[in-house]
């Protein structure tokens, strides 16, 4: 069973992502290492002892829909109550509404543990936290006063309603409509699909954030507005009133995360005899809803990245434990009698070390993204702008690379289990099934790569990314001059990777500047992996410099996995023409 790796999480936060230096500088006020360690320790205990024990029943029984009501698996409702009673939902919420206002870094570290223990559980509060951020930044004071306190505490949960049957990633096709009533409210009509925790029994109210079009709104995404639509209407005193005209008409039967209800939501169908039209309130300005929603989506993208890290960690733990128990064949390193535990076989060792290195790499990237978000929030002027650019640069890496790694590591974990991995009782297959959704939702990983190349490489006039590469290069120099034993060819491998990264970056920037966007986009996905591997190598080396016990894994990554950067650079620079030719054949087939 999963055990939260509190020590490794704390180390990465402090010595790789930058939390220790921030704490020492007083960046987060009175927050100190003692409190950080206490929060992480208790979060780890709760994840290990409370959440993980309910994972299997959640996967096997799932959520059930009957008469428009969703029932979660046995024990899950009570688990959620214990979770919010512990104050976990309020960890990074605004103090004004009962939150603890702790750094994003600490929040995503706890989120990793929730999702490792049960991804289907951890995903629900993720959306509530995103709704809190969107309302805090964009809603009227009246809406904040009525809804934020209970959302921050977790007494109510929030959702994000974007997708429609004809409008997935392309929100230009969105059809849900909102009709002004004249009293400050709107009537919402339409269907939304794939709505996570759109209906459940955790809380007595659910606050939906819904994208819809006003009458005569401009076409495309310029004509989308954002509305708050509660399941139950809320009185001025905070009491619950009549049921709103919104209901769940169906649950998706999914590959994984079975305990998380993925709902089809119907707005404005006259549910329960109500007057047609779900009552909603505008968030922000008319026709500016996408900007408001992106506040929530950017939060969600980092959180989804943490799901990738989380599943990778759980799969790695499970595979290492199995490899130490399962006996098969002979191995030169095994001197006892009988068959050797398979962990003694070099190929199994290679697989396990790959899992471990990729997991730590994805964790470091995601925590560094959270660190940039925190510093952007507490800084001012040019420094704040620098950290905003850094957070924007790292967000697609944190989301896409980490979730790709989650799938890859879960697959490798299944391979370590051999035939038993394909059998549900071991739990290896369940992790693989859970992981597979994360590269798809909150903007597919292909969209993240497009965002990186077309919107993030131009940041700071195109120089921010090169400053980032320069920072990474200083780590290679520190390794070379450290005189520490065991690094092998790590410094040379890092230098080569950063050279390849710099070349690929300037190549893509020139294509974009020359108006050759299709050629640039052809290399977007390999480029995202390239920059992630290069950055991850530097982060592993940074950790190894701080703790010599980490040198061996750092060297393994540098000498066994980092070489892929060269092939990825070739795909970025030379792959566009062949892709275009073969793509035409696909179109005409």
Residue 161 and residue 149 in contact, taking contact as beta carbons nearer than 8 Å: no
Separation CA 19–CA 429 (nearest Å): 35
Within 10 Å of residue 583's Cβ, how many Cβ atoms? 12
Q: Write out the catalytic residue numbers.
A: 442
Q: Which of 404, 366, 372, 371 is nearest to 387 (CA)?
A: 372
- The tally of CA atoms less than 13 A away on the side-chain side of residue 318 is 31
Dihedral sign computed on CA atoms, order 159, 161, 165, 170? negative
Separation CA 10–CA 177 (nearest Å): 46
Structure tokens at 148: 């934020």
Question: Measured between alpha carbons, how far apart are the two ends of the chain, in Å?
Answer: 48
In eight-state DSSP terms, residue 405 is H
Tell me, rounded to whole angstroms, the distance of Cα 225 from its chain centroid: 25
Instruction: Compute CA distances 228 → 126, 180, 210, whole Å.
Output: 17, 14, 6
In eight-state DSSP terms, residue 250 is E
Q: What are the residues whose beta carbons fall under 8 Å from the beta carbon of 414, sequence distance 6 or more? A: 315, 421, 422, 428, 429, 431, 432
Residue 527 and residue 572 in contact, taking contact as beta carbons nearer than 8 Å: yes
Altogether, the residues listed in the chain come to a count of 589
Separation CA 33–CA 16 (nearest Å): 15
Within 10 Å of residue 318's Cβ, how many Cβ atoms? 23
Structure tokens at 71: 């029932």
Separation CA 357–CA 26 (nearest Å): 32
Within 10 Å of residue 82's Cβ, how many Cβ atoms? 12
């Amino acid at each position: 069973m999963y055990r939260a790796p509190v020590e490794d999480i704390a180390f990465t936060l402090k010595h790789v992502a930058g939390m220790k230096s921030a704490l020492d500088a007083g960046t987060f006020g009175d927050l100190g290492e003692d409190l950080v360690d206490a929060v992480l320790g208790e979060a780890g205990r709760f994840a290990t002892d409370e959440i993980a024990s309910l994972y299997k029943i959640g996967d096997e029984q799932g959520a059930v829909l009957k008469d428009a009501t969703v029932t979660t698996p046995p024990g899950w409702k009570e688990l959620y109550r214990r979770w919010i009673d512990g104050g976990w939902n309020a960890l990074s919420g605004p103090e004004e509404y009962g939150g603890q206002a702790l750094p994003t870094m600490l929040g995503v570290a706890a989120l990793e543990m929730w999702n490792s223990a049960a991804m289907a559980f951890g995903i629900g509060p993720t959306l509530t936290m995103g709704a809190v951020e969107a309302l805090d930044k964009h809603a009227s004071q009246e809406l904040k006063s009525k809804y934020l306190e209970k959302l921050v505490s977790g007494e109510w949960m929030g959702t994000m309603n974007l997708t429609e049957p004809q409008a997935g990633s392309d929100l230009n096709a969105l059809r849900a409509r909102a009709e002004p009533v004249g009293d400050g409210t709107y009537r919402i009509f339409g269907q939304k699909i794939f709505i996570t925790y759109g209906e459940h029994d955790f809380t007595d109210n659910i606050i939906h954030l819904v994208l819809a079009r006003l009458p005569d709104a401009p076409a495309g995404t310029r004509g989308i507005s954002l509305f708050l639509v509660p399941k139950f209407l809320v009185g001025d005193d905070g009491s619950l009133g009549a049921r709103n005209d919104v209901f769940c008409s169906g649950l998706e039967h999914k590959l994984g995360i079975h305990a998380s209800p993925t709902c089809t939501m119907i707005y404005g169908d006259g549910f329960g005899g109500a007057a047609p039209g779900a009552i909603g309130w505008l968030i922000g300005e008319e026709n500016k809803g996408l900007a408001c929603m992106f506040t929530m989506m950017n939060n969600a993208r980092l959180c989804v990245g943490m799901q990738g890290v989380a599943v990778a960690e759980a799969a790695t733990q499970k595979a290492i434990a199995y490899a130490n128990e399962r006996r098969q064949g002979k191995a030169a390193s095994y001197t006892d009698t009988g068959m050797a535990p398979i962990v003694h076989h070099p190929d199994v060792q290679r697989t396990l070390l790959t899992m471990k290195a990729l997991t730590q790499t994805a964790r470091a990237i995601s925590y560094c993204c959270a660190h940039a978000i925190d510093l952007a929030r507490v800084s001012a002027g040019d420094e704040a702008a620098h950290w905003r650019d850094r957070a924007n640069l790292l967000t697609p890496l944190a989301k896409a690379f980490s979730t790709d790694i989650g799938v890859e590591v879960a697959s490798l974990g299944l391979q370590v289990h051999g035939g038993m991995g394909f059998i549900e009782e071991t739990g290896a297959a369940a992790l693989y099934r859970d992981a597979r959704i994360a590269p798809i939702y909150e903007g597919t990983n292909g969209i993240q790569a497009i965002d990186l190349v077309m919107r993030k490489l131009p940041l700071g006039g195109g120089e921010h990314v090169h400053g980032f590469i320069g920072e990474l290069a200083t780590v290679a120099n520190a390794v070379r001059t450290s005189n520490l034993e065991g690094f092998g060819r790590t410094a040379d491998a890092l230098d080569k990777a950063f050279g390849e990264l710099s070349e690929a970056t300037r190549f893509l920037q020139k294509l974009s500047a020359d108006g050759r966007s299709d050629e640039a986009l052809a290399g977007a996905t390999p480029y995202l992996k390239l920059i992630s591997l290069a950055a991850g190598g530097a982060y592993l080396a940074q950790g190894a410099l701080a703790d010599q016990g980490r040198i061996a894994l750092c060297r393994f990554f540098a000498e066994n996995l980092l070489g892929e950067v060269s092939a990825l650079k070739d795909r970025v620079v030379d792959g566009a023409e062949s892709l275009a030719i073969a793509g035409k054949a696909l179109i005409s087939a």
